[in-house]
Amino acid sequence: MSMAGVILAIIAIIVVGFVGIISFVIGKSAQKKIQERELHTATGSANGILAEAKKKAETVVKEATLSAQEKNHRYRSKIEKELKERRAEIQKQEDRLLQREEALDRKDSAFEHRESTLNRKEQKINREQQNLITQQEEANSLIAKRQAEVEKVAAFTQDEARDLILKETSDQLAEEKARMVKESYYQAQTEADENAKNLIVEAIQQSSADIVSETTVSVVSLPNEDMKGRIIGREGRNIRTFETLTGIDLIIDDTPQAVVLSGFDPIRREVAKMTLEKLIKDGRIHPARIEEMVDKSRKELDERIQEIGEETLFDLGIHSMSPQMIKLVGQLNFKIYHGQNLLGHSIEVAKLAGAFAAELSEDVTLAKRAGLLHDIGKAVNNGVQGSHVQVGVDLAKKYHESPVVIDAIQGYQEGHKPETIISELVSVAEKIAVSRPGAHSDSLESFVHRLDSLEKITDGFDEVQKSYAIQAGREIRVIAKPEEITDTQAIVLARRIKQKIETEMKYPGHIKVTVIREIRSVEYAR
């Protein structure tokens, strides 16, 4: 290569380098401008982002504030509700404490009354003791006087006179004792009757709430709480109409989804319950609709009562009974007496009487009929005067029942003597149904043992000739030796027997002790 070529190459290289340098400088300048533009753009974008972030932050702060206020309101409402519930509970506790305080006050009054009664009895006993002391002193004075007179007149020895006077005085004191026992007995019986009445009244007052609630109240369930307002109606028109038409009180209280029907008549209460259930199911509750549903419920209940009576007669095989009497039989299903359903009790008596009649070859159907109708007087609603026995007899006569049935109904009446065997069978069946001792294997043995023990206790007295336990062990008849006791001493004997029975025996109910002293003089005219 020549020198010129080398020079040209060098120059070319220099030119190229220069051009590269210029291009680099120009590129740097352009890049700087681009970076400045990008920086300006980024700055503007950052300012926008900051502004938007500030707006979002303010929105978040507002939302958080509103949420906190809402949570605070809910918490405050919850706290106020809890405080209200606690106040209500405290009020209920205060009411219960007040009721307990009133009950304690009543018991305190009763105890004061009993204390005053006991004080009067104690004073009376003290007076009687003083009288006895006075009588004893008089007796001692009489003994001394009689002793002197006997020794003077009869020339008795002191021992003989003492024996004679003691015997006479003993006889006189025995008579006086018997007389005093008799008087004290009747007086104590009178006071006991009065005290028993007071105790019964107190017992009724203490237990009346539970018993009444069980026998006079029906509960109707509601689908929701809004139904209570619909039942009440505008200005209470619905509830007033309901109570007027049914004769039953409708109680709406705080009990959830339930109302209470209160009334003594079970038939009316059942009509009211049926009516209210129909109204709740229908949904339309207004005075005209209430009147319509009451009439409908009465008709349905009458039909139901008639069906119950007819089914009962069909099950027992009884025919040809008056429709009015059949209806009364059905009404027994809604009557409760001494905690027992009257219809179930009457059916049980009817079946027992029928079984007895079959064994004795008597009229089974008539016996069942008499057993079924023996309590029919209790089925009649209010407005009828007289006892249930007299009402039952009047009904049986009115609807042309058999004299045997009438005689069975009269079996309750005091002093009535049954005139037919069936009447006796119904009476026995009724006692069995009421007592219902059960079918234990030892029942008969226990029963016989009770009768035997009762007679053995009574026969243990020297004055007793013979005793007989009757009325299923509810009474003991004592035949006294007439030559050993007087009529007044028989009273003392009855009391001694009673005390020994109370001490040595355990038995339900009470046992009647009857002492009989009889003297017979027999002569034959020839």
> Is residue 102 scored above 70 in pLDDT?
yes
What are the strands of the beta sheet with 475-480, ordered from one edge?
A: 464-470, 475-480, 512-516
Q: How far is CA 111 from the centre of its chain?
A: 25
Angle between helices 342-359 and 364-372 (to 10 degrees): 160
Same domain, 279 and 238: yes
Last residue of a domain, one of 208, 237, 271: 208
Number of domains present in the structure of the chain: 4
Q: How far apart are CA 96 and CA 88, in angstroms?
A: 12
Phi-psi sector, 471: left (phi>0), alpha (psi -120 to 50), beta: left
Of 447, 302, 422, 273, nearest to 362 by C-alpha is 422
- Confidence category of residue 269, pLDDT binned at 50, 70, 90: confident
Same domain, 148 and 195: yes
- DSSP class of residue 475 equals E
Same domain, 169 and 269: no
Q: How far apart are CA 484 and CA 519, in angstroms?
A: 11
Same domain, 133 and 193: yes
Q: How far is CA 494 from the centre of its chain?
A: 38
Which amino acid, 382?
A: N
Angle between helices 287-316 and 364-372 (to 10 degrees): 150
DSSP secondary structure letters along 182-236: HHHHHHHHHHHHHHHHHHHHHHHHHHHHHHHHHHHEEEEE-SSTHHHHHHH-GGG
pLDDT of residue 50: 80
Greater model confidence, 205 or 526: 526
For the record, the structure tokens of 522 come out as 């027999």
Which amino acid, 43?
A: T
> Is residue 207 scored above 60 in pLDDT?
no
pLDDT of residue 377: 83
Share of the chain above pLDDT 70, in %: 82
Same domain, 226 and 144: no
- Confidence category of residue 437, pLDDT binned at 50, 70, 90: very low
Domain membership flag for residue 120: yes
Q: How far apart are CA 144 and CA 155, in angstroms?
A: 15
Of 228, 224, 223, 230, nearest to 259 by C-alpha is 228
Helix (H) or strand (E) holding 336: strand 336-337
pLDDT of residue 199: 63
Which string of b and e fits 317-333 if b means at least 16 CB within 10 Å? ebeebeeebbbbbbbbb
Which string of b and e fits 247-263 if b means at least 16 CB within 10 Å? ebbbeeeeeeeebebeb
pLDDT of residue 442: 41
Least confident segment among 82-96, 289-303, 430-444, 495-509: 430-444
Same domain, 462 and 355: no
Helix (H, G, I), strand (E, B) or coil at 438: coil
pLDDT of residue 441: 36
- Cβ–Cβ under 8 Å, residues 256 and 249: no
Domain membership flag for residue 287: yes
Share of the chain above pLDDT 90, in %: 1
pLDDT digits (tens, 9 = 90+) for 126-160: 888 888 888 888 888 877 777 677 666 555 566 66
Same domain, 321 and 404: yes
Q: What is the largest CA-CA distance in the chain?
A: 212
Domain membership flag for residue 388: yes
pLDDT of residue 489: 81
Q: Residue range 490-518: average pLDDT? A: 84
Domain membership flag for residue 265: yes
| Main-chain dihedrals φ then ψ at residue 307, nearest 5 degrees | -65, -40
Least confident segment among 208-222, 313-327, 329-343, 401-415: 208-222
Of 431, 413, 411, nearest to 421 by C-alpha is 411
Same domain, 358 and 431: yes
What are the angstrom distances between the C-alpha of 478 and each of 175, 315, 418, 511?
Answer: 21, 46, 25, 13
> Is residue 526 scored above 80 in pLDDT?
no
Least confident segment among 22-26, 81-85, 104-108, 262-266: 22-26
Least confident segment among 40-54, 197-211, 359-373: 197-211
Least confident segment among 44-58, 126-140, 317-331: 44-58
Q: pTM, whole model, 2 decimals? A: 0.46
User: For the domain that residue 250 is a member of, what is the CATH number?
Assistant: 3.30.1370.10
Residues sharing a CB contact under 8 Å with residue 494, sequence separation 6 or more, in sequence order: 478, 513, 514, 515
User: For the domain that residue 504 is a member of, what is the CATH number?
Assistant: 3.30.70.1350
Domain membership flag for residue 82: no
Greater model confidence, 387 or 310: 310
For the record, the structure tokens of 493 come out as 């004997």
Structural domain boundaries enclosing 153? 115-208
- Cβ–Cβ under 8 Å, residues 307 and 342: no
pLDDT of residue 445: 61
Strands 336-337, 340-341: pairing is antiparallel
pLDDT of residue 438: 40
pLDDT of residue 107: 83
pLDDT of residue 173: 63
Of 379, 372, 393, nearest to 317 by C-alpha is 372
Domain membership flag for residue 524: no
pLDDT of residue 493: 87
Q: How far apart are CA 526 and CA 524, in angstroms?
A: 6
Which amino acid, 140?
A: N
- Cβ–Cβ under 8 Å, residues 481 and 463: yes
Same domain, 278 and 198: no
pLDDT digits (tens, 9 = 90+) for 224-246: 877 888 888 888 888 888 888 88
Which amino acid, 41?
A: T
pLDDT of residue 282: 81
| Main-chain dihedrals φ then ψ at residue 159, nearest 5 degrees | -65, -45
Last residue of a domain, one of 174, 208, 242: 208
Same domain, 253 and 275: yes
Same domain, 188 and 282: no
- Confidence category of residue 172, pLDDT binned at 50, 70, 90: low
Domain membership flag for residue 429: yes
Domain membership flag for residue 129: yes
Last residue of a domain, one of 307, 334, 355: 307
Q: How far apart are CA 335 and CA 338, in angstroms?
A: 10
Same domain, 324 and 428: yes
Mean pLDDT, the chain, as a whole number? Answer: 79
pLDDT of residue 181: 66
pLDDT digits (tens, 9 = 90+) for 439-489: 333 445 666 777 888 888 898 888 898 898 887 677 889 999 888 888 878
For the record, the structure tokens of 364 come out as 């089974």
Which string of b and e fits 103-121 if b means at least 16 CB within 10 Å? eeeeeeeeeeeeeeeeeee
> Is residue 5 scored above 80 in pLDDT?
no
